[in-house]
Amino acid sequence: MNEKSFWLGKTFDDFLFRPQKGITESRRNINLASKLTNSIKLELPIVSSNMDSVTGSDMARTMAMDGGLGVVHRAMSIERQARKIAEVKRSQSAVIENPLCLPIDATIRQAKNFANKNNITGILIETEPGSGILVGLLSGRDIPWNNNVNEDLVSQYMTPVDKLITEKPGISTDEAAAILFDKRLERLPLVDAERRIHGLITRKDIFSLRERPDASKDEKGHLLVGAAIGAHGDYLERSAALLDAGADSLFIDIAHGHSSVMESAVSNVRKQFNDVSLVCGNIATGEGAQFMKDIGADAIKVGVGPGRGCRTRLETAAGVPQLQAIREAYETIGDSIPIMADGGIKTDKDIFLALICGASTVMLGSALSGTDEAPGQIIEDPVTNTKKKIYRGMTSPQAVLGSLYESENGDEIDAALDTPSEGQEIQMPYKGSVVDILHRIRGHIQSSVSYAGEISLAAAREKILSDPERYLISLSESSRRESFDR
């Protein structure tokens, strides 16, 4: 990119695009499909950030249900992160292949803890630990919440197998749905003639599958989920556990991705898990994008310092204005591997600009924070009577300390405490469910595509990407005021 470039120093508030003749009857039919990697497609090109105030299992599940993707953060133990991945993978498919079971001699206290920990409402009961032979089902309604009976055995409260309706493995989703609805059942265990458990179908999953044709799913019908790993310490062990739990894509996420640390991490992960889908970042230059492509990333995360919780540019002066960075990356590697624009999205128009300047997907942190699905408690301010949730950069002192609670590695703790912060914590207004935010974003991108005179995001992207100076208008200070001051 030369010093006269149209893009130099430019970011989201520096452009509008020239409206084109609209050609759609209804904006709501506009298709927004895009690529996370060359082999993973998303119907909604939105990805939730791998931050501890943005993406845990609730957020990841909701993102995938709505056609996007959630990337579960890594500021926790390997076991906990793997459990969160497994929760998402288990939550949405016609058949839960390895339903969670408790043995018949478990107590009600154990069942309550088990249900809480795994976020489930019904537990299959087996003859003995690991036998896989069904003896009953303990549904949420069967579990007494009276604490006096905590030491009673689950066998006293479960529905025994001879009173349960079960089906054979291999039943079709439609047949299972008919049985669940006709017999008003919540769950249908799949067992063979020896009562060996082969799966579980739930009414809730069938409902959601039918209602969400755009959900992001793997070939078995399970929701897609991403998982963050680092490039130091336990990342290989973490990768193994996350892939085992079903992660569809690993995000090697470090602040300065254009580095030898990234190079050796990618090489080591590839050596051990050859065909894993790897999204790598962050970089902010054409050279960084070329580097990522050369070392074998399947997608590249672009963004150094634009994020709402970031202090990198303030503290180090390193960074590239975000639209310039996206365009530089695109001009260098084109569509050979997809680019994810990460950070700095303040309004929905920024998402469309990122997409038509070179990104295939857009990662959002603060825009999705403060919601029910984001981890963390709602804080009620007694003075203003307003509700808030915390949003914090992952290198903020608060996030660093939070992540260390689960670490037993003294060197890691010392190193983290010794690294000056490049992030900050912010109180976000509480926003309700992220579903409403995703609905709004989808509608706004569809409207942008319509103004761009196309019937799909892919077509709008292709048209504008090939000749951006024809379609984009660079704004003056006064036109910026006219456009955005309200």
C-alpha–C-alpha distance, residues 126 and 100, integer Å: 10
**Greatest alpha-carbon span in the chain:** 78
Regarding 59 and contact with ligand XMP (CB under 6 A), the answer is no
C-alpha–C-alpha distance, residues 103 and 133, integer Å: 10
Nearest distance in Å: CB 392, ligand XMP: 8
C-alpha–C-alpha distance, residues 264 and 270, integer Å: 10
Among 120, 161, 177, 310, binds ligand XMP (CB under 6 A): 310
Nearest distance in Å: CB 301, ligand XMP: 7
C-alpha–C-alpha distance, residues 101 and 34, integer Å: 38
**Alpha-carbon distances of 398 from 393, 423, 447, rounded to whole Å:** 9, 9, 39
Which residues participate in catalysis according to the annotation?
A: 310
Among 312, 324, 360, 403, binds ligand XMP (CB under 6 A): 312
Task: Output 127 or 316, the one with its CB closest to ligand XMP.
Answer: 316
**Alpha-carbon distances of 340 from 48, 244, 351, 368, rounded to whole Å:** 11, 25, 11, 16
C-alpha–C-alpha distance, residues 360 and 38, integer Å: 10
Nearest distance in Å: CB 59, ligand XMP: 13
Size, binding site for ligand XMP by CB under 6 A: 26
Among 326, 394, 428, 437, binds ligand XMP (CB under 6 A): 394
Residue list 327-346, contact with ligand XMP (CB under 6 A) = 342-345
CA within 13 Å, CB half, 258: 15
Nearest distance in Å: CB 393, ligand XMP: 3
Among 321, 365, 370, 468, binds ligand XMP (CB under 6 A): 365
Nearest distance in Å: CB 73, ligand XMP: 10
Task: Output 51 or 329, the one with its CB closest to ligand XMP.
Answer: 51
Regarding 226 and contact with ligand XMP (CB under 6 A), the answer is no
Nearest to 361 by CA among 416, 308, 303, 408: 303
Give the residue nearest to ligand XMP (CB): 423
Residue list 420-449, contact with ligand XMP (CB under 6 A) = 422-423
Across 435-467, b (16+ Cβ under 10 Å) vs e yields: eebbeebbebbbbbbbbbbbbbbbbbbebbbee
The piece of 79-87, 177-185, 308-316, 427-435 that touches ligand XMP (CB under 6 A) is: 308-316
Nearest to 176 by CA among 93, 280, 86, 265: 93
Interface with ligand XMP (CB under 6 A): 49, 51, 255, 282, 303, 305, 307-310, 312, 342-345, 363-367, 393-396, 422-423
